[in-house]
Structure 1
């Protein structure tokens, strides 16, 4: 697994936390049962799992926290799909902006955070096997 610095993990944690907050705000705009509502529900769950994993890495605990211990392999597998989707969508959106542009940099930060999340989810999955 990749070794991330505390700075990289802290930045990833900020991005994931912002994403959770933004998704929760957007979710209120959609009726429960709609595709958009379900997509956001799944994305929020994936981001919460990502947040727990990043916090665990930052605290440098090799044992699982109680909350993280309750995350199943199936939930980890399900969490990968929204994380990979965010990476893909951000990369596609990034193509519309010049490198160095504020939007480009914002998307770059989110992509980095999601790549860290993806690696931590995959690592936790193999750890549970």
Structure 2
């Protein structure tokens, strides 16, 4: 079963995402912020799905640390800030994908499936 590390500071969105991904057949570890997600980076993951703007470590820094430990890790960002999404494209590890909120859960699950299948 593919493993996803999810970092999202919005409690309700984190819960919705985790449940949708679990129903789609993924094992999900859901974290409330970047600091918590960083504590799981030594484990093997198939995908890091992270918000960009969070308290503590932001999603970009979590992704950098994850990519350093696991070259080739698939990374997907979600953000509600258009300017942040544009800047993330320049600062994020190569090959990562940025999705802008609002986005339907089915779209996120579809993008996750595409990234993991690639």
TM-score by length of 2: 0.31
Structure with higher strand content: 2
**Structure 1 or 2: more helix by fraction:** 1
Q: TM-score, normalised by structure 1?
A: 0.29
Bigger Cα Rg: 1
